[in-house]
Structure formats: structure tokens, C-alpha cells
Amino acid sequence: MSISKVAVIGAGTMGNGIAHVFAQYGYPVVLIDISDDQLANALATIEKNLARQIKKGTIQESDKEKTLKNITTGNYIPGNVGEADLIVEAATENEALKLKIFKEVDASAKPGVILASNTSSISITKIASVTTRPERVIGMHFMNPVPMMKLVEVISGYHTDKSVVDEITELSKALDKVPCVVEDYPGFIANRILMPMINEAVYSLHEGVTGVEEIDTIMKLGMAHPMGPLQLADFIGLDVCCSILNVMYEGFRNPKYAPCPLLVNMVTAGNLGKKTGKGFYDYTGGGKELVVNSIFKK
């Protein structure tokens, strides 16, 4: 493979996880974010997660040191992406923001670079359309938490060259991930299947069929899911779930993808799940034990 240097744009949950994995597998990574605080938090998170890996016995102390040495940080795209062979955008799931980033990246990156987006639902073809090299643009959708989850959804846009798909597929394997190649349609595959299930779980709660704990217990014990759909929605972020459903609704014009009114209300109220302390569950007590949010108690 021709990829030896990587840039990751966005130092949030997904961005720091992606930087962690590339650095752990020997790739020099520059992690870029406009916020110094976000970059500091990202490095602290990576160090904490590496320490957790040492405790579990999956890596050694020397691996942690090498990983951290492979990561540098920067605030601006120009000047920080010029040497990268692969640039992975991992900003907030906002179409306008992603298009702005890709325009800026396209103007600053060297010829032959691969431009990847970690988007979970936004069209790779549309993202590629704002660049001068749509054949080099691809989706590289990691799962959260990135260091633990094996799947990488590799999304081929309308113009994506097959050689780029092949290279990202092999790169994913080199990161000890399992790549699955899909075509560029709303929600791709992971979220096209997952989000309607989460939405139907919310509808079942909204219509009073049963409660939060019952819905999650039925899916865990009856369908062997490791986490119930409402707890998973809290973990993903209810705003993210709502955004992905809206992307699919707009893309397919099919009412089955329209987010449940209860989900919309919760997002409007700011109860976004674990990251805000309240969603379907209440995490304000530390989150060690799942406590159903008081508004959902019978």
C-alpha cells in the first residue's frame, strides 16, 4: 500500500478513536481540530484507553509509548494535511460542515491522496462532488468505540475508483478490522437496518406498548443483542439517530424512515442520551447501573 502518513480531522469520540487505531498500528497521525481543549481531551482519552488495553493484556507498555509518539496535533487544515497519504474526516454528522471541510482539504492536499469520510449516513457522492478528485473520495465508517469494534463499512461513491476501494479494504485489514464494501445509498447498510429498528423501539414506547426496560430486555434476551435498542440509541446520541433517520427519509422519501415524534421531542428538549446525562436512561448517577429516566417510569 502507498499509505504511510495519515491525517484525521475532528478530535471528538470518533476522531480520537480513529487516530488511536492508526497510531497503534504504526502510522504517523496528525489529529486536527479547531479546539485546543478538544485536542487535549482527545489525547487524554487515547492515553486512558491505551492504559485500559495494557490492563486487559492486549498491548504492552512499550506499545502505548509508540502509539502516543505517532500522534501529533494541529488546529488548521492547511499546513497539516499536505504530507498525508490518507485524510479521514471525522467531524460532526452535519452535511454543510463536511462539505466545507472537504473543499478545504481538496485545496490543501497533495495529488494522489485518498480523502475518506467517517460519515454514518451522508452521501459520499455528494461529499465528493465538492472536490476536484471525486475518484479519490471514499467512505470509511468506523464503529464506536473504534479501538474495540472490528467493523469498517467501506462506502464506494458514484465516482470512487476501484483501486481506492481495494486500497482502503486492505488498509482496514492491516488495522485488524473487518471491512465490508457497500454502495452509496442513504444510511448505507449498518444504519439502514439499525435506525429503523431503533425508531420502531421508540414508537413502541411512544404508543405505550411497553416500557423502556421491557423493550431492551426483550431484544437482549430474545434476539441475543448485547445491548437493547433504546440503550444503544442513548449511547449513539439521540440527535445522531434523529439526523440519520432524516437523511434516509429525505433520500428515499419513504415515511417509514421518519423519526418518531417522541425522538424528535427528546432531541429538541436536549435529552440526547449518555452524553447529556439523560435519554431513555438517566446517567447522572455515574452510569454504573442503568436507571430508567423518570419521565418513562410507569
Active site residue 89: no
- Given the residues 141, 172, 204, 213, select the one marked as catalytic: 141
Give the Cα separation of 88 and 116 in Å (integer).
5
| Burial (CB count <10 Å: 0-12, 13-18, 19+), residue 60 | exposed
Catalytic residue among 118, 120, 156, 172: 120
> Is 141 among the catalytic positions?
yes
Q: Active site residue: 89, 93, 153, 213, which one?
A: 153
Eight-state DSSP code of residue 143:
P
Smallest CA-to-CA distance from 156 within 138, 141, 143 is with 138
DSSP state for residue 197 in the 8-state scheme: H
- Marked catalytic residue, from 121, 191, 199, 293: 191
Q: Where does residue 203 fall: left (phi above 0), alpha (psi -120 to 50 degrees), or beta otherwise? A: alpha
Three-state SS at 20 = helix
Contact present, 251 and 186 (Cβ < 8 Å): yes
Pick the closest to residue 203 from 213, 215, 192 (CA basis). 215
Cell digits for 199? 425508531
Other C-beta atoms closer than 10 Å to the C-beta of 191 total 22
Output the CA torsion 238→239→240→244 (10° steps).
100
Return the active site residues: 120, 141, 153, 191
